[in-house]
Amino acid sequence: MSGFNRLQKEVIGAGLCTDCGSCVGVCPSKAIVMDYEFEEPKLQKECPPRCNLCYEICPGKDIPIPDLERLAFGRQRDTGEEFIGVSQDLIKGYATDIGSRNAGSSGGVASALLIYALENDIIDAAIVSGMSKEKPWRFEPKIAINREQVLAAARSKYILIPTNAILGEALEKGFKRLGVVGLPCHMHAIRKMQMHGMPKKTVNSIKFCIGLMCAINYDYRGTEHLIEEVCGVPLDQVAGLEYRAGAYPGLFTVITRDGKEVAITDNERRFHTIGFQHNRCMMCYDYTAVVADITVGDDFDPAMKRGVAGWTAMIVRSDVGKNLVNDAQAAKYIHTEPIKKENFFQGGFEWKKHGGAYHITERKRHGWPTPDYHMPINYPVPLHREMFLNHPHLIG
Ligand SMILES: Cc1cc2nc3c(=O)[nH]c(=O)nc-3n(C[C@H](O)[C@H](O)[C@H](O)COP(=O)(O)OP(=O)(O)OC[C@H]3O[C@@H](n4cnc5c(N)ncnc54)[C@H](O)[C@@H]3O)c2cc1C
Ligand code: SF4
Ligand code: SF4
Ligand code: SF4
């Protein structure tokens, strides 16, 4: 059975595809493409015999976290790191350029680090996620080579984007040093490529990877529901879309072809898309992108006020990540400060460590397919419960 047939049977057909795009991005024969309608890869021509690459690096079913951590950081988690993963530093910060800070979802740090790396000859291109020209309510992987392109792709999009699908194309275009931003499942695939040493060119090209914290993600149908039914805008009238426009937490804003803006609050966005959560995401146990070089998320400090300029919470994990953050700070691209560890134990933490754990446990009980993280998935998780009970103000 070819690698893709195994992928089809054990991952895609089993409801375990995260839509990360990695299989498309590594395929040496261009045998598969992303089917944007169904948000999964599909075969477009026959595979050569014995190729197994897409199956090997796929993070849908098999995610050997302890092995990936040893590979990326040279060690496994220590006491105190059980829930957020290996870390050298816990900090918060923002992009010092106010335009970049305002362009970001949180403090604009993810984009500022990419801009620093591009402007200081560390990378030739950044792999990001930006708006589709043909369908301006959809988002797709993009190659950014300058500040303007990085900032055009800033901000969170609460939909699946197969970011890693563009890795092969970036290499074909001659970019040899890449910085990648993506969700935890994108990071899993990158580390699996490094673990297998394949594809060699891709592995050699990735200079760092920035992981976004991820509570849950949604199918495109959810966004289309928000636009058409909740905001009342026909899809063919959409000229642009922002999931979190303006100051934190931002407004879900549809820009129409005749220049109008139709906006709903962040809470309304969440309420109306809750039924469109991607199935595999409900079985996801990684909230903090535990194998990224640097993880970025919202800073959920209870003192943080809505409507003021945002901060990015950061978990600096690898030496590569530490050097990047320190150098970008020294070059005044970002400002950083210490952060309280409790700030990481809210937001999506609850969804993943209880919700994700619950769904995995329930599905296992019925003998349904589940992802294997190679670590204990305990439900209920008493320590988390105690923490929430002791810090009720942290739930946000
Ligand atoms: C689906 C999703 C769920 C999230 N859940 C949480 C959460 O529970 N808790 C939390 O603290 N933070 C969460 N985040 C992360 C948070 O929203 C910010 O992205 C993060 O704090 C970085 O902010 P920034 O201003 O530094 O980044 P920015 O400067 O705004 O840059 C963000 C980068 O992420 C890329 N990106 C945006 N959306 C996607 C996507 N869907 N897939 C791949 N790449 C993307 C952009 O292209 C850009 O390069 C989530 C993000 C997403 C996309
Ligand atoms: S990576 Fe190999 S097995 Fe997978 S789709 Fe491409 S050619 Fe087929
Ligand atoms: S590599 Fe990613 S997109 Fe491809 S099948 Fe696996 S999870 Fe799905
Ligand atoms: S919830 Fe998990 S599987 Fe889904 S997009 Fe986020 S990291 Fe990927």
pLDDT tens-place string over residues 40-69 = 999 999 999 899 999 999 999 999 999 999
pTM exceeds 0.85 for this model = yes
Do 121 and 249 share a domain, yes or no?
Answer: no
* Residue with CA closest to ligand 2 atom 2: 51
- The answer to whether 254 and 261 are in contact (CB under 8 A) is yes
* Residue with CA closest to ligand 2 atom 6: 27
Do 260 and 322 share a domain, yes or no?
Answer: no
Do 209 and 66 share a domain, yes or no?
Answer: yes
Copy the structure tokens of residue 186. Answer: 């994108």
* Residue with CA closest to ligand 1 atom 16: 297
E strands, 265-375, are 294-298, 312-316, 334-338
Å from CA of 368 to ligand 3 middle: 19
Percent of the chain with pLDDT over 90: 80
pLDDT digit string, tens, across residues 233-262: 999 999 999 998 887 778 999 999 999 999
Q: What is the CATH number of the domain that holds 250?
A: 3.10.450.750
**Closest ligand 2 atom, CA of 48?**
7
Give the H/E segment covering residue 139: strand 139-144
Residue 313 has pLDDT above 50, yes or no: yes
| Average pLDDT of span 329-346 | 91
pLDDT digit string, tens, across residues 186-198: 999 999 999 999 9
| Average pLDDT of span 198-219 | 97
Percent of the chain with pLDDT over 70: 94
Greater model confidence, 306 or 65: 65
* Residue with CA closest to ligand 2 atom 7: 47
* Owning domain of residue 323: 3-73+85-218+278-366
- The answer to whether 88 and 316 are in contact (CB under 8 A) is yes
Helix (H, G, I), strand (E, B) or coil at 276: helix
What pLDDT is recorded for position 393?
A: 41
257 assigned to some structural domain: yes
DSSP summary character for residue 372: B
Residue 25 has pLDDT above 80, yes or no: yes
183 assigned to some structural domain: yes
| Average pLDDT of span 20-43 | 93
Do 250 and 345 share a domain, yes or no?
Answer: no
* Residue with CA closest to ligand 4 atom 4: 281
Return the minimum-mean-pLDDT range out of 269-273, 365-369, 387-391: 387-391
Residue 366 has pLDDT above 60, yes or no: yes
Do 56 and 197 share a domain, yes or no?
Answer: yes
Residue 42: strand pairing partners? 33
Binding-site residues, ligand 4, Cβ < 6 A: 18, 183-185, 214, 216-217, 278, 280-281, 284, 286
Q: How many domains does the chain have?
A: 2
Burial (CB < 10 A; 0-12, 13-18, 19+), residue 344, is buried
Do 256 and 163 share a domain, yes or no?
Answer: no
* Nearest partner of 131 among 110, 108, 155, 111, judged by Cα: 155
Binding-site residues, ligand 3, Cβ < 6 A: 7, 11-12, 17-23, 41, 58-60, 162, 189
- Give dist(CA 171, CA 123) in Å, integer: 12
- Give dist(CA 164, CA 189) in Å, integer: 8
- The answer to whether 198 and 23 are in contact (CB under 8 A) is no
